[in-house]
Chains A and B, each alone.
Chain A
Amino acid sequence: MRFTLFKHVPWFPLAVLLLLAGLSFWLRQIVQPTKLKLDGSDRHDPDYVIEKFVATRMGANGVPTHLLTADKLVHYPDTDTSELFSSHLIQYQPGLPDEHIVSKVAIRDKTGNKLYFDKGVTMSRAGYAKKPALHIYTTNMTVWPEEKRMETDAVVVLTEGTTKITAQGLTYNQLTKQVVFKHKVRVVLLNRKS
């Protein structure tokens, strides 16, 4: 008796109906605007601002390794990043002149180990021993202060005494003092007499 009842159930139309119901539920989910969270975490609003920001990083031996300053630091909770205005990073090097990186704006990532300097960047180091002063000019530069290295894909101009080098993209390891010019390298060695 149960078998005959089971046989007479219109399975195909039932399956089609179930499919349609599922489809319409899925469609509704898709077009539904995501609900705004009331805690403001999906808006890019700062949660704190520091004026005259100064941060010194100490090495294991108790000697400062680098110093980061900015006129203003603004922190954003949604990305856990900080935006620094008139930013200035000083990299200390034992026995050598400091290396200064300056730009209008810098973004510090959530780890705090990576800084993206933007809107015109200048890196400079005073002359020492027989070596003239070194300057690097570019539009943006990513710096890893802890690892003492920096990199950009923008056009860079490097000057050191009578040498001027222009290239597309650069990496600079401040520990090994190795600079790699990625593409389109143009070097001019000005003769002291010319």
Chain B
Amino acid sequence: EQADRDKPINIEADQGMSDMANSTSRYEGNVIITQGTLRLRADRIDVQSDKAGKMLAQAYGKPVTFRQKQDQVDEYIEAQASRIDYDSGKNQLKLTGDARVKRGGDELRGAVIFYDAVSQQYSVQGSPATGGKSGGRVHAVIQPKTATTNDAAKPSTTP
């Protein structure tokens, strides 16, 4: 949700290490980031934070999972990848490595997926062909939007 961006960011982990000189930190062991409706789980997270409380995080896991509620609809977007880069200031995500995004019945898979939580749009790239091997293609499953029930109930007027 848009409002998530202005909420405090909470991080839980088993251990942590901070470099006070550069304001960088690393948290390891069952790491969970929550910010409003946003929730991200990883094995390890590297964080750079600034004075305004904004955060750049690189999350690593097998896989890293991400979940956030969509605006104005009671629907969640769910994503996972080997690595997720999260920019809390811009509310953007970059999913790398066996990336998947699921929203309602729709699903996207590819090597790299960019997701903008503000515009709620995403773009996906396949992996380039390397060493004679064919590149990883992009897969998209888009569910047909069924007519809403009241349309179906209305009797047809045409004879």
- A residues touching B (Cβ–Cβ < 8 Å)? 130-132, 134, 158, 160-163, 165, 167, 176-194
Contacts and interface: CB of A to CB of B under 8 A. Distances in A.
Contacts of A158: 18
Nearest to B33: A187
User: Which secondary structure characterizes the binding site on chain A?
Assistant: strand
Given A162-B52, A177-B20, A177-B21, A191 B10 contact: no
Interface stretch (B1-9, B61-69, B109-117): B1-9
B86 interface: no
20 contacts: A130-B51, A134-B20, A162-B51, A162-B52, A163-B49, A176-B21, A177-B19, A182-B15, A183-B14, A185-B12, A186-B11, A187-B12, A187-B13, A189-B11, A189-B88, A191-B7, A191-B8, A191-B54, A194-B7, A194-B8
Contacts of B5: 191
Given A191-B7, A191-B9, A179 B53 contact: no
A193 B8 CA distance: 9
Contact of A188 (B10, B21, B88): B10
A20 B3 CA distance: 88
Contacts, number: 88
A115 to B, nearest CB: 21
Contacts of B13: 185, 187
Residue from the set B7, B53, B88 with the largest chain A CB neighbour count within 10 Å: B53
Given A178-B19, A181-B18, A190-B8, 20 more contacts: A130-B51, A134-B20, A162-B49, A163-B49, A178-B17, A178-B18, A178-B20, A180-B15, A180-B17, A181-B15, A182-B15, A183-B14, A185-B11, A187-B27, A188-B9, A188-B10, A188-B11, A189-B9, A189-B49, A191-B9
B6 to A, nearest CB: 5
